[in-house]
Structure 1
Amino acid sequence: MSDELERLRREIHAELQKPGVRPDDSVQITRRTFVHRSLIFGAATVGQTFAWWPLINTIDVAHAAEAPFKFAWISDTHLYEKSLNTRFVDKTVRAAKEVQAMDPPADFLIFGGDLAQLGKVEELELGNEILKEIKIPKHFIPGEHDWYLDMGKKWGELFGKPTWTFDHKGVRFIGLDTVSRGPDYWTAKKMTPEERMGHMATLDGTVAGPWAGVGRDQLDWLEKILGDWDKGKPVVIFTHNPLYEYYPPWNFWVRDWRDVHAVLKPYTKVTNIHGHVHQVLYNEIGTMRSIGMLATSWPWPYAPEGVPKLTKPMIRVDPGDMFDGVGWEKISVNPGNQVGAGDVEYVMWGRKEVFIQSAADYDNSIPEILRARIADNMYPF
């Protein structure tokens, strides 16, 4: 480490460690909230901290697996054809190479949706070709950008059913489809497939409304496949959209999420890992913890209002650095901890050595109030 960098670090530390600025050393985090770690020039520094946002963040994922293992997650690549946008292609290639280079190798890869940007055959095939670099088993869930040009036809040809389940070393993994149940507004409006895709790709969803949903058929399927599962054993559910009401105006939610929680309520160790939001999130409702993941394409800003109290924001990104605030994740699941072991490592590209304090955005003494929304009853799906 250079003398100049060391000098800058000392100055930053001196500034942030003034009384009343740095969290008190006595503050301890619980096992069920963020544990932050930083990786600086290959040397890991681990400590118990609160509201500090280093290069790599880690959080509890699953509980008491039979044996330790690691899997990888890549999501929201939003690929255009190479002739239109090579930046997103380059980032996807980088993520694939880094996952393949993991040593020891990950047990499997989860792709979290939005492989394509406009749902074109060329975009989906390009993504499939890039991800072939990764030789470990792969499991895919779709995003809305993959689906609404041809209603999932090409996705199904390449990756099979959007819902699936498997058991691995004492953990039941489940992939749910949260994107294909959008209410059919396009037929009455006589939209072309391209027009439909354009509206579904809009962040605000002004035409589609609350399109994200699980549906009664998947709820019944979820209940069935968990029927023989010990309620004290870990369950990890992968979705594209968050299974809670993060920010409905941007369709950062699932309209029947309460029904999903009702099915999962008897199970005490449930983790939902989701994409779609392009940002680091962590939230807890009941026995379910929800973890938002990075995108390789671009980072979304945080919603201006309406964020649940137990949501942790990440530091803002550098708009001049196209690799800042994006990346992929490595998820470790380890046995032997009575509450929970395992972590998510956010492999965040472009992140400089940052020492910054982020004030908590919630008050733990005030419980999150679950209230009915008009939008919940708009569509009987």
Structure 2
Amino acid sequence: MSGPTELTPAPDADGIDRRGLLECMTWAGTGALWTLAGGLPQAIALDKAVAAQAPAQPFTFLQISDSHIGFDKPANPDALDTLREAIDRIKALPSKPAFMIHTGDISHLSKDKEFDDAEKLIQDAGLPVFYVPGEHDLLDDEQGKSYLARFGGKAKGAGWYSFDLNGVHYIGLVNVVNLKAGGLGALGADQLQWLEQDVAGLSSSAPIVVFAHIPLWTIAPEWGWGTADSAQALALLRRFGSVTVLNGHIHQVMQKVEGNVAFHTARSTAFPQPAPGTAASPGPLKVPAGDLRKYLGVATVDFVRVNQPLAIIDKPLAG
């Protein structure tokens, strides 16, 4: 299942594997572990989390990002292989997540074969998948026709949509249309108007998860690592008690908390990029071959309906 598709709950009404948070946390060595409990973010030590009693009814999903299938430069001569490794680790999880999101740059050059290879491999995880595009997915002659044909489903405009599952409202945004090299992302008036209407009827107590490719907070404007009109989108979400924003694009983990909004960027499954201020420009960062997997990762997100804060634990594919 791809794009903004509707999830069908299992016979137990919510489709949740109830073997508990304990098993999910023991897997954290292969990716980032999140526990969404509707509170403000607070990191907790893994040993304390694993030792704690497993809360009831955990709800888990995954985030992967920036697969760049078709990339074959020295930073990673085989991006398909490292994506395969990530999918194999997902398949080996002791508890099956409910679904997976991909926060863009599925392909490197928007070629049909790149999309086909990526989709086939990602589907091998056996999970529903929800996509938003990165700028590398909109390089075809019609600015995203190939992407939308495969992953657009019932999306609006350039691919934005929302869905609800297990008491959480998910919003997939697109901020890479007409993106200029090194320029900031943008949502645009149409999408902002849709977002306002989308959240208008929600209770302020509803947990919100937003995912888009380019970060919705300004990290490095000189590199285009930010979204020009993100403040307008975030203003629409300010009344909600718990908002989590997941992004890709920068190929490294960065986190920020601003009021009730927690921002988190994901590692790539393909190659790292330099941290701001450490290089003249962004782009594929070549590291020793034996170190590459230290910079690649997968994020696991757990929502648990108990009075516990959000816990964020980041681990790369290796280590």
Q: C-alpha distance in 1, partners of 2:317/2:128?
A: 24
Deviations 1:21-42 (A, max 9, x none): xxxxxxxxx96333343xxxxx
Q: 112, 135, 139: which is aligned to 2:130? A: 139
Match of 1:3 in 2: none
Q: What CA distance in whole angstroms lies between the structure 2 residues aligned with 1:36 and 1:301?
A: 27
Q: 1:372 is matched with which residue?
A: none
Change in CA separation of 1:243 and 1:66 when aligned onto 2, cut-off 3 Å: farther
Q: 2:68 aligns with which of 75, 78, 83?
A: 78
Provide, for residues 179-235 of structure 1, a one-character-per-residue CA deviation record: whole Å limited to 9, x for no partner: 11437xxxxxxxxxxxxxxxx4xxxx2xxx33x101111111111111111112210
What are the superposed Cα offsets for residues 82-131 of structure 1, whole Å, 9 maximum, x if unpaired?
89975211111111122222221000000110011112122111111111
Q: Deviations over 1:18-76 (max 9, x none)?
A: xxxxxxxxxxxx96333343xxxxxxx347xxxxxxxxxxxxxxxxx994210011110
Q: How many pairs align? A: 263
Is 1:322 aligned to 2:292, yes or no? yes
Whichever residue aligns with residue 32 of structure 1, its letter is P
Alignment of 1:196-215 (within 5 A): 200=181, 205=182, 209-210=183-184, 212-215=185-188
Match of 1:123 in 2: 114
Q: Measure how far apart 1:295 and its partner are.
A: 0.7
Tell me if the contact between 2:43 and 2:313 (Cα under 8 Å) persists in the aligned partners.
no
Give 1:132 shift: 1.7
Q: Deviations over 1:159-192 (max 9, x none)?
A: 0132121111111011001111437xxxxxxxxx
Identity of aligned residues (%): 27
Shift of 1:318: 5.9
For 1:86 and 1:245, the matched residues in 2 are separated by 31
> Which structure 2 segments of 5+ residues have no match?
1-38, 50-54, 279-284
Counterparts of residues 1-80 of structure 1 (less than 5 Å): 32-37=41-46, 45-46=47-48, 67-80=57-70
Q: 1:263 is aligned with what amino acid?
A: L
Q: CA deviation at 1:296?
A: 0.7
CA distance in 2: counterparts of 1:46 and 1:330, whole angstroms: 18
Q: Quick check: 2:40–2:262 contact (8 Å CA) kept in 1?
A: no
2:86–2:317 CA contact under 8 A, matched in 1: no
* TM-score scaled by length of structure 2: 0.75
For residues 320-366 of structure 1, give each alpha carbon's deviation from its aligned partner in whole angstroms, at most 9, with x where no partner exists: 422121111111111111x634x445341233xxxxxxxxxxxxxxx
TM-score by length of 1: 0.64
Note if contact 1:76-1:278 (Cα within 8 Å) is conserved in structure 2: yes
Q: Is the 8 A contact 1:81 1:122 kept in 2?
A: no
Aligned counterpart, 1:280: 253
What is the Cα-based RMSD across aligned positions, in Å?
Answer: 2.8
Contact 1:143 1:179 in 2 (8 A): yes
Q: Which has the higher contact order (CA 8 A, sep 6+)?
A: 2
SS at match of 1:348: coil
Q: Report the counterpart of residue 169 of structure 2 in structure 1.
A: 172
How far, CA to CA, are the matches of 1:130 and 1:82 in structure 2?
17
Matches of 1:79 and 1:243 in 2, distance apart? 24
**Structure-2 residue corresponding to 1:376:** none
